[in-house]
Structure 1
Amino acid sequence: MRRRTTLAGAAAIAAVLLGACGEPNDETGASQQPQGAALRVTLGTQEFPEARVLGELWRQALAVNGYAVDLRKGVGPAEELDQELQDGTIDGYVAYTGTVLSVVAGQEVSGLDPEATYAAAEEFYAGQDMVMSEMTPFQNKDAVATTTTFADDNDLTEIGDLAGVEGLRFGGRPEFEDLTLGLAGLSDVYGLTDVDFLPLDLGTQYAALDSGEAQAVDAFTTDPQLDGGDYRILDDPELLFGSQNVVMVVGADDLERVDATAFMDVVNAVNATLDEQTMVRLNAEVLEGTSDETVAREFLRSRGLDRPLRS
């Protein structure tokens, strides 16, 4: 039996949904609750900026809808977050569907589109007494990037087109060279065999493209450098890198205690606004020095999600 965090009961839920007045929470414009009736949940994220922003978006949106959310940032990688959810240390976390499937469930992800990946992850978690929210439109997954100029000069639109570039200088984090979801897979699936691999520290790949040191690099589809940068992400028609949409994973018992429909309505309303262009921009704002709390607050305000969904 999994240990669960004690949450408020049905009376508290009714009070919140009726908009009862009382002690406010710490979000500006948040709905109010009677003392002792807070619907408290604990959410966890990984350390990287995008995960922290997503956690803040959910925390702040839930707060204005009557939930008291403890957000634990930088808990650890997916397997640690999953274990903490099983242990009851957290009630939910920021998850990527492909990572759930490959790292947590130990299943194959290559070749699966977003819907198939979501369905497989949902089935896995159903057996773990966990529930997933609806997935975001955006994905954050491995990709191959070039400069726009290099792509235009070599008629590149998809990864396989790189097979025609002799002595391709390809940059990526050191471990990428031998990964199936890396250069080894690119060789097998797309015929990239004439490659000079350049090990690069994560985050320096775009500078390597700019300088001409690398002609193509391992990137991620929501890298902040893509915001206004002169870069092109090449299509992955064979879905070598699988699919990586974002969901909230939450314990089924915890979800019922805080009114499953009301809770997930808020999370899903946030998720629906997050397309790829939006996440690239939000990540860029964090990279430029704006706190993830502020980035989330301003975005929610721009989408009208800084107000309760229901009175």
Structure 2
Amino acid sequence: MALSSRIISVVAAATVAALTLSGCGSSDPFGSSASSDGGGSSIVVGSANFSESEIIARIYARALNDEGIRASVKANIGSREVYMKALEDGSIDMVPDYSGNLLQYYDADSTAVSENDVYKALGKALPDGVGVLDKAAAQDADSFYVTKKTSEDKGVRSLADLGRLGSHVKIAAPPEFAGRAYGPDGLKKHYGVDVTLVPVNDGGGAATVKALTDGSVQFVRLDSTSPLIAANDLVRLDDPEQLILAQNVVPVIASDRVNDKARAVIDRVQSALTTDDLMEMNARSANDKESAQRVAVDWLKKAR
């Protein structure tokens, strides 16, 4: 990963907008040569209750610490309903999220779909005191999958084909899926299919996939960067009605508790993070059982 060439524009902007960062002009932008915390207290970075979120949170915290900004991680807080409340009540100061889902959380009626439109709309939809930093190129979208056998035998390649599975179908997904814009109500509205949720509280993990492969459900919701997709030869269903919006990784912050120096550090992380990175890190976590901290540290070393 050639980080230096990918952050030139961000570094230039940060030089104007933020305090000067040690190492900004070097080939090691995350080098630890700073000694000040930038004038603020320790930053608590939260994460949702799945491994990718924790890995990104630990990347943020480690990058901040490497620049002399005290940071810690509060991992596996829960779903968006829980960690956004924690951000607003001061329990955490920053949390990684995904642009489209966060937009729909605050504005379910938004018509934005593309990366830039979603990002702009998100900035306007957030409550007072909450902001987002730069979006990453990295995306991880909620997506829907069937087994390869179901796809081939029933001709199901799109959400528009779900009716071929029957008038009423079951999906395995996290409990909070019930209230999402792309949940049962959204599927009914856009694709005319009645869906019953079979809640599986493992963040789209092995238990969710098992419900599909053992025939308990007809399709599942998984993160598009999950290594379980390829491992189980699952088929992603097209979404012609664009029920799922662009889902770029975005750092959500408490605006008054994250200063300019910290923001510039995180923006440079964002400029380097790719979808391929997410897939590689998730595979290490799921397949190799490596800790989120180890994976995060290795990513930062590679990004130098």
Same fold (TM over 0.5): yes
What residue ranges of structure 2 are gaps of 5+ in the alignment? 1-18, 25-29
Q: Who is 1:71 aligned against?
A: 73
Given that 2:172 and 2:212 are in contact with CA atoms closer than 8 Å, whether structure 1 keeps it comes out as no
Residue 17 of structure 1, aligned match among 17, 22, 26: 22
Indicate how the Cα distance of structure 1 residues 46 and 62 shifts in structure 2: closer, same or farther if over 3 A, else same: same
Q: Which position in structure 1 is the counterpart of 2:136?
A: 136
Residues in 1 aligned to 2:79 and 2:232: alpha-carbon distance in whole angstroms: 29
- Structure 1 residue aligned with 2:14: none
Q: CA deviation at 1:164?
A: 3.5
Give identity over the alignment, percent. 24
Do the aligned partners of 2:99 and 2:118 also contact (CA within 8 Å) in 1? yes
| C-alpha distance after superposition, 1:167-203 (max 9, x if no partner) | 675332485578753234323312335x7x5735344
For 1:79 and 1:218, the matched residues in 2 are separated by 19
Q: Determine the structure 1 residue equivalent to 2:270.
A: 271
Which deviates more, 77-86 or 242-251?
77-86
Assess if the C-alpha contact under 8 Å between 2:167 and 2:193 holds in 1: no
Equivalent-residue separation in structure 2 for 1:89 and 1:205 (angstroms) = 30
Task: Give 1:70's aligned amino acid.
Answer: S
Give the equivalent residue in structure 2 for 1:220. 223
Pair 1:246–1:174, CA change in 2 (3 A): closer
CA, structure 1 residues 207+273, in 2 after alignment: closer, same or farther (shift >3 Å)? farther
After TM superposition, give the deviation of residue 109 of structure 1 in Å.
5.0
Partners of 1:114 and 1:243 within 8 A in 2: yes
8 A Cα contact 1:30 1:66, kept in partner: no
**SS of alignment partner, residue 32 of structure 1:** coil
Structure 1 segment 55-94 matched on structure 2, within 5 A: 55-94=57-96
Root-mean-square deviation (CA), in Å? 3.4
Scaled by the length of structure 2, the TM-score of the pair is 0.73
Note the 1:151-300 alignment, pairs <5 A. Answer: 151-166=151-166, 170-173=170-173, 181-192=182-193, 197=196, 199=198, 201-202=200-201, 203=205, 204-255=207-258, 258=259, 260=260, 262-288=261-287, 289-300=289-300
Deviation at 1:294, TM superposition (A): 0.4
Match of 1:96 among 95, 98, 109: 98
Q: In 1, are the aligned partners of 2:49 and 2:78 still within 8 Å (CA)?
A: yes
Which structure: larger Rg? 1
In structure 2, relative to structure 1, the CA distance for the partners of 1:76 and 1:187 (3 Å cut) is closer
Q: What secondary structure, in the 3-state scheme, does the structure 2 residue paired with 1:58 have?
A: helix
Do the aligned partners of residues 213 and 252 (structure 1) sit closer, same or farther apart at CA in structure 2, a change above 3 Å counting?
closer
AA matched with 1:101: L
Q: Does 1:114 align with 2:115?
A: yes
Q: CA deviation at 1:134?
A: 1.5
Q: Which amino acid is 1:90 matched to?
A: I
Q: Secondary structure at the match of 1:57?
A: helix
Provide the secondary structure at the position in 1 that maps to 2:119: helix
Report the count of equivalent residues: 272
Q: How far apart in 1 are the matches of 2:174 and 2:31? A: 46
Q: Could you tell me which amino acid in structure 2 is paired with residue 94 of structure 1? A: P
CA separation in 2, counterparts of 1:85 and 1:96?
Answer: 15
Secondary structure of 2:250's counterpart equals strand
- Alpha-carbon distance between aligned partners in 2 of 1:157 and 1:149, rounded to the nearest angstrom: 11
